[in-house]
Amino acid sequence: MSSCSHAHATANEYAIEDRGRADPTQTTTDQRALSRWIRGRIGEVDAAIREKILEDDAFGMDDNAFSEWSGLSDAEKARRFDDWLERQIESTILTSEFEDKAERHLEHAVERGATDAHRELRDAGVDIGDPDETLAQDNVQEAIGLGVIALAGRVRSEMDDFRGDAREIITDGGLEVSRTQLASDIVERGQVYKSEVTADTAAEVVNQYNTTGQLSSYERVPDEVEVELNVEPEFRTAQDDRVCEQCQELAQRDWTLEDAQDFHIPRDTHPHCRCRWEVTDVRTLEDL
């Protein structure tokens, strides 16, 4: 990863779809599956937009035909379209199926993060039980649920911005061009937000792996026994030529568990960050 920013639609999608892309979190499958589903639903909204403008001629751009919104001002037509588009988004994207799929993929990322954390602790001589026990904790299940809500909120925010852009296109001379051009302009603008949603999805999957899966497991290290642990996780980069300078610098730091809990991957790094935490040192009282 050569840069911390992905300004173009193709860049965000490439970051997930690239088959040769190393991913230390091993969550690429979940990132791909969930983001593909969401992009597919956005594609259905795009198709509905084209049908509304081209086939239904809702704006009355064909002077010889009566339309759903003929006789209205451009501003009112834009408002009617916005109301219609909001309903399309809610009924196509932000559905119970979205919640089910997001929960499944985020939980799988947490399971993988917990499994990796438990293995590393065992390798260091500390057995905290089965990863399923971490996954079953109320706080972990709650965190997964909050992750679903957070992702839905970000998707809704991106779609709200898309609706705002569509209104602006319509009122800023959009009804003076051909129907084909208007539909193309709106759908093309939506590609930007489709890209942002892809980045949002990848970020939440990786966040759940790191924060809910790994760090929640580290917290289970028992304190009732005479063992003191300084878990010093560090960034494990993908170790290829696409690791950005920011992550290279972070990988050189020493991290305590407390520091790790205050730092969020990838929210505090960049879109499509592939870094994860790794246990590098465990000390008992005898070592101090």
The token pair at 12 is 């965000």
Residue type for 29, please?
T
- Establish if 257 belongs to a structural domain: no
Residue 226 has pLDDT above 60, yes or no: no
Contact 206, 265 (CB under 8 A): yes
Percent of the chain at pLDDT > 70 equals 86
The token pair at 287 is 């070592």
With bands split at pLDDT 50, 70 and 90, how would you rate the model's confidence at 249?
Answer: confident
Residue 129 has pLDDT above 60, yes or no: yes
pTM of the entire predicted model: 0.87
pLDDT recorded at residue 145: 98
pLDDT recorded at residue 228: 43
The token pair at 215 is 């760090």
What does the pLDDT look like over 5-39, one tens digit per residue? Answer: 333 333 455 456 666 667 889 999 999 999 999 99
Contact 24, 236 (CB under 8 A): yes
- Establish if 265 belongs to a structural domain: no
With bands split at pLDDT 50, 70 and 90, how would you rate the model's confidence at 1?
Answer: very low
Rounded to an integer, the average pLDDT of 256-268 is: 87
What does the pLDDT look like over 59-110, one tens digit per residue? Answer: 998 875 678 998 899 999 999 999 999 999 999 999 999 999 999 999 999 9
Give the residue, 282 or 4, on which the prediction is more confident: 282
pLDDT recorded at residue 8: 35
Contact 238, 1 (CB under 8 A): yes
Rounded to an integer, the average pLDDT of 211-234 is: 71
Q: What is the mean pLDDT of the chain?
A: 87
The total number of structural domains in the chain stands at: 1
Residue 178 has pLDDT above 80, yes or no: yes
Residue 58 has pLDDT above 60, yes or no: yes
- Establish if 236 belongs to a structural domain: no
Q: Which residues of 57-68 are buried (b: 16+ CB within 10 A; e: fewer)?
A: bbbbbeeeeeee
- Establish if 167 belongs to a structural domain: yes
- Establish if 282 belongs to a structural domain: no
Rounded to an integer, the average pLDDT of 233-249 is: 78
Residue 252 has pLDDT above 70, yes or no: yes
**Range in 140-144, 256-260, 280-284 the model is least confident about:** 280-284
- Establish if 270 belongs to a structural domain: no
- Establish if 72 belongs to a structural domain: yes
- Establish if 284 belongs to a structural domain: no
Contact 232, 280 (CB under 8 A): yes
| Domain enclosing residue 163, as ranges | 23-225
